[in-house]
Homo-oligomer: A and B are copies of this chain.
Amino acid sequence: MEIKELGEFGLIDHLTKDIKPQNPSTVKGVGDDCAVMQYENGRQVLVTTDMLMEGVHFDLQYTPMKHLGYKSAMVNLSDVYAMNGTPRQMVVSIALGKRFGVEDLEDFYDGLKMACDAHHVDIVGGDTTSSRTGLAISITCIGEANPEDVVMRNGAKETDLICVSGNLGAAYMGLQLLEREKAIFNEQYKEAQQKEGNKGVDDTIAQPDFSGREYLLERILKPEARRDIVEALASAGIKPTSMMDISDGLSSELMHICKQSGVGCRIYEDRIPVDYQTASAAEEFGLSTTTCALNGGEDYELLFTVPLTMNDVVSNIEDVKVIGYITPASEGQKLICRDKSEFNLKAQGWNPLKD
């Protein structure tokens, strides 16, 4: 079906007809000028937004629309968890060109809904419009928290332990794999076209073999926001002193926490959690595993600090690792390597505004 046949409102009806509010705080969802929410007395409202642009944040040559929807939701949910909050509502704007059909949008929304359902989040509105050029996605997520539970980036204190969830660098290696296969595919395609003309091109191109690398692809294409970690911390009676999610890379995020908290840090190379597949792929690509873990973005793991007294408790939480501690600002932001040499951390993470 063509999008223009449905029109904007037909399209919105079509896409949102089976979206039913799940939260009592959702008073009015899709279908008016605004969504309306009402929280209990004393709860705080959290709002986060992320914009994803084709060619900058995603490549449709290897990103299925359903995965794109799922990921677009997850990166926003991750920001709410990074405040120690609970995501509740989402508004979704999408601008797309004529090359897209209704089925593409359905796939996008399927992924979006799958992520929202898993996290009990209501899609309460948005904007669906056209683009002259690439696909653009903008999502705003609204969440809530008790005022005393909110964790910002500015609360890290000297001697606090620095912790991360999961493992790092896997999404970056997944991206490298996809980019390499894309280059190979495009080269083969060009060759096949020269040889065979337009027909028969598909048959002559070998499908990429990602076996043994599935985890890396999943990390880049289908990241998971770490609600489980936020819940585990609460169950263990730990309120982090600072927290953020790792979207641009560990170095860059840790430097944000240090800057906003007015502190320094020491992290240890041998403590940074890296998956076996990440290390193996990094070796194949001739990259340093530690560099990938420090500067590779899009892992959407949580980086947080806890008081030193919580050492035993936090060390017992599954999938959380203590990687270092907070120091006075005067001691800088240091990485201690396996050979005991020290380096200053650099924010070499992903910068969307760079060339």
Contacts and interface: CB of A to CB of B under 8 A. Distances in A.
Interface in A277-291: none
B33 A244 contact: yes
A36 B142 contact: no
A130 B91 CA distance: 21
Contact of A79 (B34, B136, B354): B34
A37 interface: yes
Copies of this chain, tallied across the complex: 2
Contacts of A256: 9
Contacts of A51: 93-95, 127, 129, 136, 138
A159 interface: no
Interface stretch (A52-60, A202-210, A214-222): A52-60
A68 interface: no
A43 B245 CA distance: 31
B27 A142 contact: no
A196 interface: no
B33 A245 contact: yes
Interface in A249-263: 256, 260
Interface residues of A, number: 76
B47 A142 contact: yes
Nearest to A80: B34
Interface in A100-154: 124-134, 136, 138, 140-143, 145, 147, 150, 152-153
Given A45-B45, A56-B129, A351-B8, A36 B136 contact: no
A89 B3 contact: no
Contacts of A4: 353-355
A79 B351 CA distance: 33
B260 A31 contact: yes
Contacts of A32: 83, 152-153, 244
A80 B33 contact: yes
A142 B46 CA distance: 11
A235 B322 CA distance: 59
B125 A47 contact: yes
A93 B27 contact: no
A82 interface: yes
Interface in A26-71: 27-28, 31-39, 41-51, 53-57
Determine which residue in A46, A124, A143 has the highest number of CB atoms from chain B within 10 A of its CB, and name it: A46
A200 interface: no
A7 interface: yes
Contacts of A133: 55, 132-134
Contacts of A8: 351-353
User: 9 closest pairs, A vs B, by CB?
Assistant: A138-B138, A133-B133, A55-B132, A34-B46, A33-B79, A51-B93, A140-B140, A41-B41, A37-B45
